[in-house]
Every structure is written in structure tokens, then in C-alpha cells.
Amino acid sequence: MLKNKVILAASAMVLAMAAAPASAQSVLTASSEQTTTRVRNFNPFNQTSARATTKDFIYEPLAIFNRPAGNKWEYCPAESFELADDLKSISFTLRDGLKWSDGEPITADDVVFTYDYLKKFPALDFNSVAPLMESVEKVDEHTVRFNSVQPNSLIATTIVAMPIVPEHIWKDVADPVTFANETPVGSGPLTEITRFTPCVYEQCRNPNYWDAESLKVDCMRLPQLADNPQVLSALADGTLDWATSFIPDIDNTFVAKDPEHNKYWFLPSSLVAFTLNLESPDENNKKAFNDVNFRRAVSMLIDRQTIIDIAGYGYPVINEDPSMLGEFYKAFSNPEVATQFGQYGKFDLDAGVALLETSGYVDKDGDGFHDNPDGTPISIDIRNPQWLDRLDRRHSDRHRDAERGGPQREDEHA
């Protein structure tokens, strides 16, 4: 059995993978998705019902733009790419000797076929890459040139987001949109579906993977788990090694049970945001939401650190960047934006209220609430995704404070 249980966390989210069977193989038991039901679907273009291990594991991207590693390019089937001086074309060169999992060679023809396929079946193009391309052409057996409609210095990241599929398999598929691809032929490290039931499936090594020596496991076992509580239970009893999940109070509930082996990693990624609906059906709200000064004032009234400490157990990194790029994308941020607008990204109760009132949002009717400048009321209905473990923590803390006679606010600035 794999002894180290690892959790990778994005903001307040965690990724974990798992254990080994009674065999000579090294098997990682992982929770890659939380779902009540799942079907045998490994169509890499399907964004709704395909299994989470389809992309990357079965269909490896040409290359990976590795943001956590300082925006470094990691080359996979492609060994390099070159962007033209006029930024209107980019050429990818494939490695020598590449093979699909069924032993057929991977060539430039497969790449050209895939992008022609996206134009023929637009529903497959989940990254909207085809409209950016004037053409895709084969230069030689290992080189493909993408000609873009207009100069685009970032086109490589868009291109590699799409999977490459084998022409000899997909050219005969009548309806690739609904095609389940139950027995996939791919280029990635784990392509072989050796077992699939409603409760668990196993995905094992590609016998022809170009970088096989780097693989540390032979198979992944992926049990069906419906939600965070089930994942937490499986981690606690040792049936999972890795998982993607939010784990409340992770040091006490997970690490403390086996500090030598139970680990986690927080990967900065998704943004947790408070979003105002600019098309609100409530006309009074819509007037306020479409006023930039109202939005700036609301931003200044959000106590981000308190939200992090209570709802996020201190996991997330505070984001006070007015562009919302945050720590993960700070290399792309413009320091002049922070200088000009930075005050609107920081919690400042007095300044936020002052901006509301100088913009005309005062209590017109004496009910204790700020109104629109024309006197109409503003009534905001806040909807929160049903991450019950976070909400339970927030409400339990409020209940505890109430019993102690302490603060009883309900994140009124969030």
C-alpha cells in the first residue's frame, strides 16, 4: 500500500489520492471527482459526463503551462514550439517515436485532424480555439503550424488546452459529440481502463507512454464518492491516499492522525468571489449594482480576512488586488492599477460607508438601511454554493458567540 496520504489544496480546496491493492502493482486510490452516479465515458471533448481522469491522464496535452513553477513550459508529446516574429503563427514539434496506447504512431496528421475536427463539429470546441485559427497545416511528420487570424502572443496556452485524438479511431465516429469512447486510445500516462463498475473504476499504465520511466504508480483506483463527508470518511479510515476536497481544520482532523504520512499542499488557483448581478431582475438593486461607486463601496465593506479565518479555516490567501488577479497571477498585474484603485480592494468600514453616502446612498426613510439616491430600497439576496462544511463552521461559530454574549454578525460585509 502507498503509505503517504497526500492532500493538495487550492485556496480552501484540497486534492488527495490513494492506496494499493493486494497485488504486485503500485496502485493509487484517488478521489478525482465527487458524484452520485457516473457513466463509462472517456470522451475528452465532453465537459459534462466524461470522467475527470480523461484529460491529461488519457489525452495528454502537447505541453503544459506550469504557473505554480513560475510560468514554466513543461513539454509532453511536443518537445518544443516556436512563435513567429509577427505573432500570427506558431509551430509545434512532436517528439520522435511517439505512439498511441494501441501502438499506432502519433504524427502531425493527428494534430491537424483534431483541429479540423473542431471546425467540422463546433460543439467539441470547448475552449473556442477554432475561431482563432486561419488554418492548421502539417509541415512534416513531426511539425504542425497553427496560423492565427490575428497576432496573438498567448495562443500557445489556448492551443494546448485542447486534447489531441488519434485520427485512425475518431475519423470513423459518426457523432463525436455523444460518443462515449468507453475503451479509449490515448497518449497519456494512464490509458487502460481495466475495470469499470458503478462503484469503482481502475485506470492503468499506457504500454507505449513516451515518459514511462517517470511514472511512480501502475494504476489509479477511483471509488465513487458523492460528497465531502464521504471523502473525509475515506481519508480518515485510510481507504484513500489522495483526494480533492475541502477538509475543515485539516491539521487536527487529518494530519494529526498520522503526521508522518498524512500531508497536504495548498495550490493557489480558483478565486472565491462575491459577485453582483448587473442584470438583477430587481430594478432597485440593478440601479445600485451598475453604479461603480456602489460596487467600490461594497468591496471596501468586505472583511476578507475574517471570511478567510472563519469560513475558510485560514486556508485561502487574501486577495486585495483591485484587478482580482491575486497572488497566483501577480506576474501579470499592472502596479499602476494597484496604485490608482488599490484602496477599493481593502477592508475599510469607515471609508466604505463614507463612499456610499457621498455617492447618495443614505438612509432616506429612517429604517437604518442605506437606500438608492432616489430613495428606493436595496435588498440583497446572497446565495452561497452549498459547501456545507464551510457553512456549518460559520453557523457554529455564530452560535458559540451568541452563547457567550459576543459578536453575532453574519458576515454582514461579505
The CA R_g of the chain, rounded to the nearest whole Å, is 25
Cell triple for residue 315?
486556508
User: Is the pLDDT at 65 greater than 80, yes or no?
Assistant: yes
Q: Which residue bears the cell 486534492?
A: 15
**pLDDT, tens digit, for every residue of 94-120?**
999 999 999 999 999 999 999 999 999
C-alpha torsion angle, residues 51, 69, 250, 36 (rounded to 10): -10
Lowest mean pLDDT among 52-56, 291-295, 391-395: 391-395
Percent of the chain exceeding pLDDT 90 equals 64
With residue 94 as reference, give the H or E element that holds it.
strand 89-94
CB 412 within 8 A of CB 400: no
Q: What distance in Å separates the CA atoms of residue 349 and residue 50, rounded to the nearest whole number?
A: 46
User: Is the pLDDT at 153 greater than 90, yes or no?
Assistant: yes
pLDDT at position 272, please?
A: 77
Q: Which residue has the higher pLDDT, 313 or 46?
A: 46
Lowest mean pLDDT among 28-42, 189-203, 226-240: 226-240
**pLDDT, tens digit, for every residue of 340-374?**
999 999 999 999 999 999 999 999 999 999 999 99
Confidence of residue 67 (pLDDT cuts 50, 70, 90): confident
Per DSSP, 267 falls in state: -
User: Is the pLDDT at 128 greater than 60, yes or no?
Assistant: yes
User: Is the pLDDT at 225 greater than 90, yes or no?
Assistant: yes
pLDDT at position 21, please?
A: 42
User: Is the pLDDT at 400 greater than 50, yes or no?
Assistant: no
List domains and CATH numbers for the chain.
Answer: 5-57+176-266 (3.40.190.10), 63-170 (3.90.76.10), 283-404 (3.10.105.10)
**pLDDT, tens digit, for every residue of 299-320?**
999 999 998 898 888 888 888 8
Q: What is the mean pLDDT of residues 76-80?
A: 96
Instruction: Kindly report the average pLDDT of the chain as a whole number.
Output: 86
Per DSSP, 260 falls in state: T
Confidence of residue 11 (pLDDT cuts 50, 70, 90): very low
Percent of the chain exceeding pLDDT 70 equals 86
pTM of the model: 0.74
Separation in Å, CA 85 to CA 63, 134, 140, 149, 151:
21, 17, 21, 15, 10
Pairing of strands 133-140, 143-148: antiparallel
Q: What distance in Å separates the CA atoms of residue 138 and residue 92, rounded to the nearest whole number?
A: 10
Pairing of strands 78-83, 72-75: unpaired
pLDDT at position 270, please?
A: 67
pLDDT at position 341, please?
A: 94
User: Is the pLDDT at 396 greater than 70, yes or no?
Assistant: no
Q: What is the mean pLDDT of residues 11-28?
A: 52
Confidence of residue 386 (pLDDT cuts 50, 70, 90): low
Separation in Å, CA 377 to CA 83, 297, 371, 372, 381:
55, 17, 5, 6, 13
CB 291 within 8 A of CB 278: no
Confidence of residue 70 (pLDDT cuts 50, 70, 90): confident
Q: Which residue bears the cell 497536504?
A: 264
User: Is the pLDDT at 401 greater than 80, yes or no?
Assistant: no
Lowest mean pLDDT among 26-35, 194-203, 245-254, 281-290: 245-254
End-to-end CA distance of the chain: 44
**pLDDT, tens digit, for every residue of 230-243?**
998 898 888 999 98
Q: What distance in Å separates the CA atoms of residue 342 and residue 27, rounded to the nearest whole number?
A: 48
